[in-house]
Amino acid sequence: MTQQFVIETKKWQHFVDKTPEEVKKHVETIVKSYSSACVDRFYEVLLTHPDAAIFLSNQLVDTRLRSALGLWLENLFSTNEWNAIVLVQAQQKIGEAHARIQVPIHIVLQGSRTLKQEINRKIDENLSSDEEILSCVLYASAMIDIAIEFMARVFVQNTRKEAEKNEAFRLMSLGQDMGLEREIQRAALFEWGQELLFSLCYGKTGRELSLENSDFGLWFDHKGSALFHGASTRKSHRRVVHRVRL
């Protein structure tokens, strides 16, 4: 755990410690009573989202994720020896899992918003005092936001590491075949140039000769786009390739 994580963990512990016991007990009771309803609403929303549905299925939700999310909620709001360090470690593992399967961060945020809305609705339904409702809503929302913040930190770190690893692998693979690839594409471009020259000298062949649709042009659009990713002249070269035709 980095120094910044330690600082943020202490802040979370301090926030929970200074929250009135009555507020924490109210929220704990409501979450335990309605965790199944909150989880149902969570997956009802996410299963209809096209970006989330590819990571979920009804069978996966029913057999593994539903109980795991319910347990996550109950642990988050438990008043029995609540420990920020343990909770932070749990959020880190979840963030790592999200990064590993590349769950979009906006899906995670939509899911947390759905949970907050459902919990806050249950708080409003079960408490009568406006002051109690406000205190409990603010506490519940802050707890979920902090948990998601710890998840997101690890998610971003691991996603960055994975991207760097993939880029290193890509460059290594391209470097191994660079010489051969260069000669193949040079020959492909020369062949297209010859065909173009013959067409100019002896009349058109009856079909459009475009560099874009040649073997070289197709390579440049697909494999070449990965090879020259980040090059300042790639876009201008691509425009030229798409424009040259007979």
Smallest CA-to-CA distance from 153 within 205, 89, 214 is with 89
pTM equals 0.65
The Cα 132–Cα 25 span in angstroms is 11
pLDDT along the chain (246 residues), means of 10: 81 94 96 94 89 77 83 93 90 87 87 95 94 96 95 82 62 62 83 82 67 82 69 76 77
The pLDDT assigned to 81 comes to: 83
What's the N-to-C CA distance of the chain in angstroms? 62
The Cα 76–Cα 69 span in angstroms is 10
The pLDDT assigned to 105 comes to: 86
Task: Determine the distance from the C-alpha atom of residue 106 to the mean position of all C-alpha atoms in its chain, rounded to a whole number.
Answer: 7
Task: Answer whether 199's CB lies under 8 Å from 229's CB.
Answer: no
| Residue 245, φ and ψ in degrees, nearest 5 | -160, 165
Neighbours of 123 (CB within 10 A): 23
